[in-house]
C-alpha cells in the first residue's frame, strides 16, 4: 500500500468561534501505480485532504502513512515525503517566477543540492515528459508561452524532483478545449511512461471519466463512494444528492431508458453512447422487420 489514510479529521480555526470541521474520519487506500480520481462538491474537503498526503498538514486526529512514512510519527522525514509526493496546485502557472523555462524547472532540483549535470539531466527529462522539447523550450521566456504550455512547465517543475506520486488539483481549470486535451494527454503519459501513481482532483466529470481507473468520491468530509468510473457514474441518484451531478452521456441514456429504450445507462464517452443508441435502433428495426 503506497498511501493509507485512517480516521482522518480536520478543522480549520480550531478552538475559535469560527471553528469549521471539514474532514470527518476519512479512510483511504491508494496502491502503487494507480490512477485515481478524487471528486466531490466544493467544500467536500478535497483540497484539505490532498495537503495531508504530502505532509503540508500533520494529522491531529487520524493517521496518514505514505510509502512507509507515518506523517505524525516521523516529522524528520517530512522533507523526504514532500519529495516523494509532488503536489500540483490549481493554476500552478501562477507560481512560475523565473525568466526562462529551464531556470524555472531547475529551481527544485537545485534546491536539493544536486550537481549541475544532474540538474540539467532532470530538467531535460522533465520537459520531455510533459511534451516540451528541451532543445526548443529550455531557453524560452516564460511570458512567451501559451496558457497550456505554462501549466506544463509548472508540472515539469514538480516532476524534476522525481516524485513517485503526483497529485493534480483541478489541472484543467481555465484552459480552452485544446489546452485541456494537452494537459490530460500529459497526465496520461506521465502515468504510463514514468510509472507514477497519479491522484487527479477534478470538477470535470467528463475529463475524469476518460482518465482514471478508480474514482474516490468525497462529500461532507467523508469518502462516500469508491469504484471504477462506470460503477460510480451509474449511481445517478446518489451523485445528484451530493451535488456532483451526472455525466451528460449518462443523462441522455437514462432519459432514453425512461422512454422505454433498452439501453445501458453508463456510457462514459460520446462514442460509447452513440454505439449504444445505434445498436438499439438496429434492434428496433430488425424487430419491426420480423413483424
Partner 1 sequence: MIRVEKVSFAYNADSDSPVQALREVDLEIERGQFVVIVGHNGSGKSTLAKHFNALLIPTEGNVFVENMNTRDEKHIWDIRQKVGMVFQNPDNQLVATVVEDDIAFGPENVGVPPEEIQRRVDEAMRIMGISHVRDKAPHMLSGGQKQRVAIAGILAMQSNYIIMDEPTSLLDPVGREEVMESIRKLRREGISVILITHFMHEAIEADMVVVMDEGRIVMKGTPREVFGRAEEIRALSLDVPLVTQMAMRLNDMGVDIPRNVLSVEELIEHLC
Residue ranges in contact with partner 1 by CB under 8 A? 18, 20, 40-43, 90, 146-148, 170, 173-180, 203, 205-206, 243-245, 248-249, 251-252, 255-256, 259, 261, 270-271, 273-274, 277-278, 281
Closest distance between partner 1 and the C-beta of residue 194, in Å?
26
**Shortest distance in whole angstroms from residue 44 CB to partner 1:** 8
Helix (H) or strand (E) holding 189: helix 177-193
* Residue placing its CB nearer to partner 1 in the complex, 25 or 41: 41
Cα separation, 52 vs 137, in Å, equals: 34
Strands (E), 165-289: 165-169, 197-201, 214-219, 222-227
Q: How far apart are CA 100 and CA 227, in angstroms?
A: 42
Q: Quick one: 48 or 249, whose CB is closer to partner 1?
A: 249
Side by side, the strands of the sheet bearing 197-201 are 85-88, 165-169, 197-201, 35-39, 214-219, 222-227
Q: How far is the CB of 173 from partner 1 (least distance, A)?
A: 5
The pair phi, psi for residue 215, each rounded to 5°, is -115, 140
Q: Which residue, 105 or 273, has its beta carbon nearer to partner 1? A: 273
Q: C-alpha grid cell for residue 235?
A: 449511481
Considering the complex, state which of residue 69 and residue 155 has its C-beta at the smaller distance from partner 1.
155
| CA-based torsion, 188, 39, 238, 256: positive or negative | negative
Coil, helix or strand for 198? Answer: strand
The distance of closest approach from Cβ of residue 181 to partner 1 in the complex, given in angstroms and rounded to an integer, is: 9
Dihedral pair phi/psi, residue 229, rounded to 5°: -55, -40
Q: What is the nearest approach in angstroms of partner 1 to the Cβ of residue 57?
A: 18
CB of 185 to partner 1, least distance (A): 14
Identify the burial level of 121 via C-beta atoms within 10 angstroms of its C-beta, where 0-12 means exposed, 13-18 middle and 19 or more buried.
middle
**Considering beta carbons, is residue 147 or 227 the nearer one to partner 1?**
147
Judged by CB, which is closer to partner 1: 196, or 199? 199
Neighbour tally for 43: CB within 10 Å: 14
Q: Least separation, in Å, of the C-beta of 15 and partner 1?
A: 17
For partner 1, the closer CB: 112 or 256: 256
- H/E element holding 20? strand 20-30
> Minimum Å distance from CB 56 to partner 1?
19
Q: Given the complex with partner 1, which of 185 and 274 has the nearer CB atom? A: 274
DSSP per residue, 37-52 = EEE--TTSSHHHHHHH
Amino acid at each position: 500500500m503506497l498511501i493509507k489514510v485512517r480516521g482522518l479529521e480536520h478543522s480549520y480555526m480550531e478552538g475559535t468561534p469560527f471553528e469549521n470541521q471539514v474532514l470527518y474520519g476519512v479512510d483511504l487506500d491508494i496502491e502503487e501505480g494507480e490512477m485515481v480520481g478524487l471528486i466531490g462538491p466544493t467544500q467536500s474537503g478535497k483540497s484539505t485532504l490532498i495537503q495531508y498526503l504530502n505532509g503540508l498538514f500533520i494529522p491531529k486526529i487520524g493517521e496518514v502513512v505514505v510509502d512507509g512514512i507515518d506523517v505524525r510519527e516521523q516529522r524528520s522525514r517530512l522533507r523526504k515525503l514532500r519529495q516523494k509526493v509532488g503536489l500540483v496546485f490549481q493554476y500552478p502557472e501562477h507560481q512560475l517566477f523565473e525568466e526562462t523555462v529551464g531556470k524555472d524547472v531547475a529551481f527544485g532540483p537545485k534546491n536539493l543540492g544536486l550537481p549541475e549535470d544532474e540538474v540539467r539531466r532532470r530538467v531535460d527529462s522533465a520537459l520531455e515528459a510533459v511534451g516540451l522539447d528541451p532543445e526548443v523550450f529550455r531557453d524560452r521566456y516564460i511570458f512567451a508561452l501559451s496558457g497550456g504550455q505554462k501549466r506544463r512547465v509548472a508540472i515539469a517543475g514538480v516532476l524534476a524532483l522525481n516524485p513517485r506520486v503526483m497529485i493534480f488539483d483541478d489541472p484543467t481549470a481555465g484552459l480552452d478545449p485544446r489546452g485541456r486535451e494537452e494537459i490530460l494527454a500529459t497526465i496520461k503519459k506521465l502515468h504510463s511512461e514514468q510509472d507514477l501513481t497519479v491522484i487527479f482532483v477534478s470538477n470535470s466529470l467528463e475529463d475524469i471519466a476518460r482518465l482514471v481507473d478508480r474514482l474516490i468520491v468525497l462529500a461532507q468530509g467523508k469518502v462516500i463512494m469508491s469504484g471504477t468510473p462506470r460503477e460510480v457514474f451509474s449511481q445517478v441518484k446518489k451523485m445528484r444528492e451530493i451535488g456532483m451531478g451526472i455525466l451528460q452521456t449518462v443523462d441522455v441514456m437514462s432519459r432514453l431508458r425512461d422512454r422505454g429504450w433498452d439501453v445501458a445507462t453508463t456510457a462514459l464517452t460520446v462514442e460509447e453512447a452513440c454505439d449504444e443508441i445505434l445498436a438499439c435502433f438496429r434492434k428496433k428495426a430488425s424487430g419491426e422487420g420480423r413483424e
